[in-house]
Chain A
Amino acid sequence: MPRRNDIRKIMLIGSGPIVIGQGCEFDYSGVQACKVLKQEGFEIVLANSNPATIMTDPEFADRTYIEPLTAEILHEIIRRERPDALLPTLGGQTALNLAMELHERGILARYGVELIGATAEAIGRAEDRRLFKQAMRSINLDMPRSGSAHSMAEALAIAETIGSWPLIIRPGFTLGGTGGGIAHDAEEFRSIVTRGLAASRNSEVLIEESLLGWKEFEMEVMCDHAGNSMIVCSIENLDPMGVHTGDSITVAPIQTLSDREYQEMRDDTLKVMRAIGVQTGGSNVQWAVDPDTGRRIIIEMNPRVSRSSALASKATGFPIAKIAALLAVGYTLDEITNDITRATPSCFEPALDYVVTKVPRFTFEKFPAADSTLGTQMKSVGEAMAIGRNFKQSFQKALRSLETGRAGFGADGRDSASEALSDEELAAEVSRPNPERIFQLRIAIKRGWSEDRLYELTKIDRYFLRHLTELTAFEDEIADGGIFSDPALFFQAKEFGFSDRQIAYLTKTTVAEVRQRRRAAGIHPVFASVDTCAGEFAAITPYYYSTYAETDEPVRDRGGKKSLMILGGGPNRIGQGIEFDYCCVHAAAALRRAGYEVVMVNSNPETVSTDYDSSDKLYFEPLTFEDVMAIYEREQCDGIIVQFGGQTPLNLARELEEAGARIIGTSVADIDAAEDRDTFRNLVEKIGIRQPQSGIAHSVEDAVRIADEIGYPVLVRPSFVLGGRGMVIVYKEQYLRKFVAAAAEAAEGKPILIDRFLEDAVELDVDCVSDGSHTVIGAILEHVEPAGIHSGDSASVIPPMSLSEEMQEKIREYARAFARELHVKGLMNMQLAVQHGELYIIEVNPRASRTVPFVSKTIGVPLAGIAARCMAGETLQELNFVKEVRVPYTSVKEAVFPFVKFPGVDIMLTPEMKSTGEVMGIDHDRGLAYLKSQLAAGSALPSSGNVMLSFRDEDKAAGLELGRKLDRLGFQLYATLGTSTMLWNGGIKSRAVFRISRGRPNLLDLMAEGKIDWIINTAEPGAEAMADEVRMRSVATARGIPVTTTVAGAAAAIEGLTDQREFGRFEVCSLQEYHHRIASHRW
């Protein structure tokens, strides 16, 4: 049956900001869906609050609403747009939950909007634990003994019935398992159940028998409304049950099941689809298998595209989201052609002749107080995927793709901490799932621990343990040095995935030496294509991975075009995420339009850049010198672009250039000059702008001396890192000593920078683009939070709120001067601060910044694409971007944090970036734009109710003003004793509340009683924050009570609430309409 013609306008919901559990995989799925549905002639209405996504680019939809993802706002959009259908299965759990809410509230029925892709009944059956169990029982599937509870009493009764520890607790309707956990005793049980009930949208937790240590599998399945269904990809977890699949190392296809077991699992997977009632689209089903008996239990199913679907798409070459979108509008699987072969239909099961490994990327270094033990609640922030001909190769490539400094499976000199563990400590670590465990296993193997012992400690399947053991044993073969005289052995080392860096470490020589000897021995990587069919049919789409084998896929002719390579950003992490993928994808699109062939290299399966549609040639490879250079040489590229992928490609730039690669755009030397303190200081002096006093320390003593010279407080940070890793503000020498030691570790031997900290300064970001002779400003962004909070964590506003025209003009002049002096060709970001009317330069980065997508969305100009074409030699004049765009509205970017995943961690903002994602609020009214950004970020500020106020002494004057406004808005005020007194003296009544440690009722009691709707709390940043306050903020976060931690933030919020009172309700408006107003606005 072909395309449905009874629907014309389709609404899609994105997944909102990047959070743990929902990464940029939903941008990938959304982009695929938007593209293909637009091609099919549908009118697309898109709602997503995340400006960093590619899908929210105005060309992907007819109407793009960058608005908060709440049912109320979606109601407004539906009222305005009257779509015929809503496709809710491509925007993660967020979209699915919102679609259900719209359905339950009768909004869809009222406006005649049809849910396509999945019916409300099917979603309900998959998501509601009780209905799910019923459905599974009806098809005779084995289930864990369990029960679902809506209260503590019910929960305890269930625990008693099951009668054994440990027990798994899972809240209903959440993503990434927020609020879940494993309880080993009654006390743990109570605490996790409490948390889970609070986190669940329907106040429900599932309690079940533990399947800890069982093997875990996943099947990605597609079906159409004609009843055809198929498995796209099967996945096996290396980490057994007990670790969230998002935090597990996973392998595709399944390796340890015989055909009989596999096919039975496949049969049951298809039965699950039918029992749930999934009519079309992609879903996944997760299974646990008892390794001793083969007893198989269903864990869960998702009736939507998921993180694993993105992984499966990249692992197989099968575009799940694109096909799911086509199926939702009426097509059947056999009607859709396989893009990769273009000769066979999409209705088939991809065959892999390689092994895919995915490894999660964690950022516990950002949250030292968080527990790094992995459990059923997802904690990783990103992932890397690698493809290899065999498991060993794929596994080692995946580990070196993580960009955590590892060169593969150990053998790189990075394991001294694990090596120092005693046997007991090591055994404890190895049996505790944690991010380092895989490397700790290698140390255990090196100590001669038997396969049986390792199996008992980890329950990792022996198939994997043996590969790990063989890799470890092979290190000795390499270390013996014989490798250089035995080409067959050398080849085998490469076939096993050992990187040149590992071989250099093991043979105690340099990487350059290994590389030279390897090439002399004629050992080069070859490239194979990801063709969906294990070579049975010829692949049309050039999607490659490297391996060591005999046959090399011929280099595809580029038809006389020049070839440019774009290096992606690798796995998502805090400080480097989707914003950079956005830039890479834009650059690729712009260069392709300009007639270049684009070669994309990246290792992140969640991204749009690793869609084979995004470039002319896609190489799914680790972003290391060895891997990238091999591709550059094979493709004979005319240049490499390093300024769009964040810090990752920049770190490779010098080595690539030294090996003869041509870096285009701003030169490596100029990028370094901006990064190097001394050259930069000279530049600053030449340009004549002020810079906070600073110094470079190579030791703790150095640091103390410098700080004494420039005066406290100081900002301490390592050089050459993104996201403010290890960065702190220090007020006293004793803390300085402590932090310099910590920072030295983060900087990996590079020097420590010490700057004078500008207290109470306004921070600014400027993004601009230059063609080498002309520079045009993208936008000046003013931060809401004061200097001292990482720019990535701060809300920022376009146009600036408090800067005079004169000051703005000065800033523009400086931007042009820096761009000129640094010979910028491409993007440049500049950070400044204004203190007491004086302008200071903080830093200049001649590369894409995190704010490029936000600025581009605001001004309606694709800055990254323009920059890419400048790098390729065009001028801004030719590209018709000659003048800064002024916007007749306000747009606010707000950061989104993962604190809810890390109970007990302080949510206070510091110079170290902690946010995982961002949202944008846009409105003609500044206050409403800010309020929208807060709403979108998940902290829905109340328009009435009880506010708790607590200000540090420095903020009390400003706090009084805020209290007065809140009082006027009709809020009931609560305050700590000091703040309450201050308010009283100013003539404002409030109820005094004890500090947590000083008596009762205190704030915790009030929160527990549900009496607090909003907390405004400013505290001294950093480690000096009171333990009480940390606890208060963390409890509030867990309970979903909005917490505002700066005076500026609170002031902006109150402005918004005041405006909201005036306007009544939020108005929604599409980006296309906003951009249209830029042109028509008369200043």
Chain B
Amino acid sequence: MSYNWKKMRERTAFLALADGTIFHGWSFGAPLDTVGEAVFNTGMTGYQEILTDPSYAGQFVTLTTPEIGNYGTNPADDESRGIFLNGLLIHELNAPSNYRSQLALDELLQQRGIPALAGIDTRKLTLHLREHGCQKAFLHASDEPLSEAQAVEKARAWCGLDGQDYASKVTTDQAFSWNESGDFHIVVLDFGVKYNILRNLAAENLRVTVLPAHSGRDEILARKPDGVFLSNGPADPSALPWAIENIRGLIGKVPIMGICLGCQLLGLAAGAECGRLKFGHHGCNHPVRNLATGKVEITSQNHNFALQPGSLPDSLEVTHVNLTDNTIEGIRHRREPAFALQYHPEAAPGPHDAAYLFREFRKLLEA
């Protein structure tokens, strides 16, 4: 094997943050230029799940774990039909070594047209985002000549994710059935649903139908669901007033479970307020306390927005709290059968500690 180190370094690329900070590295995946919001994820496994999680739509994800690509990629680990994030930022790229691998990470990204930047000081970027918050950014990975200043300009010029409806961009255009049979029928509103949510619901022996995000209340109820699931999804819940309105009409009509964006939407529908976290929660190691049992779960997290602690109406109660910053991680309606989690009980990537919550949903359906 020969290694052309020089050539590798010649595929130069850089990331420009809106505040003018530049990160130089080399490009892999698709050689494209694009904008995105730079965030970081501290999980040590699961780059493929992160790539295929629609909640990352519009974002550049920095992986703080340095050695990436080691176990390749394979279709079984996909979390959706595609890759919706705008770019991947890593320290070191490796060829795959795992019996399950079918495609190297580099090849996967090339096939799907996703640009990526390797060889950067990911810790520097992470500390920067921690100090200054998530940032609009521009990734220059094409051969087109572009100065750093121009790239910064492009980052600044981009509208960003605030107030943006990304759920409409990633939702399915057609209703589809995930699991044909089951004791109860669940309709999943797809704001960017992860397959592992669907797998977990199916594992509880639930019949699962996925509907596009814009499906109306009547359309949903016409399917005669025993329960409605509000999925995770990208960007800003405040940009989805139609969804909030829709959900308001479902509360009390049918048992509801929500995850992540679905949690924020349920909260907003019940009258709570939502705000932005400084640099969000993205990782696999956050401790969350279940207030009912007192037990702590190690959770998978991926959100920049969260329900504001003081804003909850009397109808909602907090069920789960993040122990690192006391943010709301779970809510429940006091009178109606509806609950939601801000974190990801479906994991993928991350620990399975909270998988019991899908069983809780089933119990709600049985009640």
Contact = CB atoms under 8 A, between A and B. Distances in A.
Interface stretch (B94-102, B215-223, B247-255, B256-264): B94-102
Given A263-B350, A551-B123, A536 B98 contact: no
A353 B66 contact: yes
Interface in B323-362: 323-324, 347-352
A334 B6 CA distance: 50
Interface stretch (A463-471, A560-568, A1015-1023): A463-471
B64 A534 contact: yes
Contacts of A230: 287, 298
A791 to B, nearest CB: 46
Contacts of A538: 130
Contact of A535 (B123, B285, B286): B123
Nearest to A476: B3
B285 A349 contact: yes
B48 to A, nearest CB: 7
A293 B92 CA distance: 27
Interface in A497-555: 528, 533-538, 549-551
B67 interface: yes
B44 interface: yes
Given A259-B46, A463-B70, A550-B124, A349 B298 contact: yes
Interface in A272-289: none
Contacts of B70: 255-256, 463
Interface in B124-155: 124, 126-127, 130
B324 A348 contact: yes
A551 B66 contact: no
A266 interface: yes
Interface stretch (B179-187, B265-273, B288-296): B288-296
Of B40, B286, B296, most buried by chain A (CB within 10 Å of CB) is B296
A353 B43 CA distance: 9
Nearest to A258: B71
B2 A473 contact: yes
A256 B298 contact: no
A709 interface: no
B358 to A, nearest CB: 15
Contact of B130 (A262, A474, A492, A535): A535
B283 interface: yes
Interface string A858-878: 000000000000000000000
Interface string A379-411: 000000000011100000000000000000000
B323 A334 contact: yes
Contacts of B236: none
B71 A253 contact: no
A353 B99 CA distance: 25
A259 B52 CA distance: 13
A390 B295 contact: no
B209 interface: no
A397 to B, nearest CB: 14
Nearest to A266: B351
B67 A227 contact: no
Given A334-B323, A353-B123, A549-B123, A347 B64 contact: no
A955 interface: no
A813 B298 CA distance: 65
Contact of B285 (A351, A550, A551): A351
B9 interface: yes
Measured as residues with beta carbon below 8 angstroms from the partner, the interface class of chain A is: 35 or more
B66 A292 contact: no
Given A355-B66, A463-B70, A477 B5 contact: yes
B227 to A, nearest CB: 26
B324 A537 contact: yes
B49 interface: yes
Interface in B32-51: 40, 42-46, 48-49
A40 interface: no
A351 B64 CA distance: 9
B42 A489 contact: no
A391 B66 CA distance: 9
B301 to A, nearest CB: 10
B295 A226 contact: yes
Interface string A230-242: 1100100000000
A461 interface: yes
Contact of A352 (B6, B44, B348): B44
B324 A390 contact: no
Contact of A351 (B42, B67, B91, B121): B42
A351 B65 CA distance: 8
Interface of B: 1-3, 5-6, 9, 40, 42-46, 48-49, 64-67, 70-71, 74, 76-77, 91-92, 94-95, 97-100, 121-124, 126-127, 130, 283-287, 289, 294-296, 298, 323-324, 347-352
18 contacts: A228-B296, A259-B350, A263-B45, A263-B347, A292-B99, A390-B67, A391-B92, A470-B3, A528-B123, A534-B64, A534-B126, A535-B130, A536-B64, A536-B126, A549-B123, A550-B121, A551-B124, A551-B127
Given A253-B44, A260-B76, A294-B100, 14 more contacts: A253-B65, A254-B45, A257-B45, A261-B71, A344-B323, A345-B323, A349-B284, A349-B285, A390-B91, A391-B67, A489-B5, A534-B126, A535-B127, A551-B127
